[in-house]
Structure 1
């Protein structure tokens, strides 16, 4: 009988140790896995922001269509200024600006008369605009544009993409975008209780339960909610 009691007590002790271990390691493991996944998602959201900003520069607005944004990234070209030389302090103090310098150089190219350019000390000053592919300027080599919509660790789910085209009270154009993904999309299955705790905390803080970049409710300079 005593042996049986000892075995039961041993089992109870093991169960208690397991419960205590789980209560300690559960939140730690959840946070560790959350950090790994969110690091990849934040990187993707930053790529989306880059693409949207370039798209707006070219089209004066954002897009809420993934196919349109992907095609733009794959095929569009943007202006890039090749710079050679710079204005000296004496030139700047004398009222010279880059615009004036380029106007002087363009005039010399048209007329073939370079005396004024030489007198101003601008022989080695160049500002040439070239057109380069978006893929070659804002994304690293090997970047796959087709991956933009998809949430890392999201089991094939896409980011929610929205835009807003409006005007301010002064009549100025207002163009906003946001891309976001809720916690459930990429954190489900790790620890459901910790996920509920995280959502409850964010709700109490009146914050979005997930990761997002930009905001269609109010301008925020396209910041991410992790920044």
Structure 2
């Protein structure tokens, strides 16, 4: 009877320990994995913004985006003010005209500008810690906002894919998060297909001062 009592006591103590320790471990794992996923999404955002600046739109797939980073160049320009005299047919006199002149200074590789010597952009589509080599979902579109047509894109991944090996009850709670200090909902999302935005749905704690 005494042995049984001590056995049950040990079991209850272990269960109490687990009920306290598991959520702490889950939070640590979650933040580490989310941080790595968000780093990749920021690379995707940088590449997509460069793509838009050169082409006017966003890439709809990673193959196009990687090829763009590999081959595209930014045009380096300089803007200066100038003026000249022009005869006015209305007033029949010479009038001063002010103009802005844009000079092309050269070109710079998109890859060098964004990633330097790193080739991490080649794997920016790979979801970190995924069990089956899953990729981020990527889509782009043209959004009509009150007659104004704007390019938009969205990249996202389900939390379940990043936290696939974590306790199911804690993962279920995570998918129901509603807080300014958490990644709300079931996915980590960058951009939007329904709004003109290149922001992510993560809180500031995942951003450096530069990102903010």
TM-score when normalising by structure 2: 0.78
Distance (Å, rounded) in 1 between the aligned partners of 2:144 and 2:173: 39
Larger RCO (alpha carbons 8 Å, 6+ apart):
1
How big is the shift at 1:202? 4.6
Say yes or no: does 1:200 pair with 2:159.
no
Q: Secondary structure at the match of 2:195?
A: coil
Is residue 72 of structure 1 aligned with residue 68 of structure 2? yes
Instruction: Note the alpha carbon deviations across 1:22-46, whole angstroms, 9 max, x for none.
Output: 1001111001000110111110000
What residue in structure 1 maps to residue 47 of structure 2?
51
Flag the structure with higher helix content. 1
2:140 pairs with one of 140, 156, 163: 163
Give the aligned partner of residue 90 of structure 1: none
Runs of 4+ in 1 over 3 A off after TM superposition: none
**Aligned residue in 2 for 1:100:** 81
Distance 1:208 1:215 in 2: 15
> Does structure 2 retain, via aligned residues, the 8 Å contact 1:79–1:130?
yes
| Matched-pair contact (CA < 8 Å) for 1:202–1:209 | no
C-alpha distance in 2 between matches for 1:185 and 1:33: 13
- Matched length: 181
Instruction: Choose the corresponding residue for 2:22, options 19, 23, 26.
Output: 26
Scaled by the length of structure 1, what TM-score is found?
A: 0.73
Matches of 1:38 and 1:74, distance apart in 2: 27
* Aligned equivalent of 2:161, options 163, 185, 189: 185
Return the alpha-carbon distance in structure 2 between the equivalents of residues 140 and 14 of structure 1: 56
RMSD, matched Cα: 2.2
Q: Which has the larger radius of gyration?
A: 1
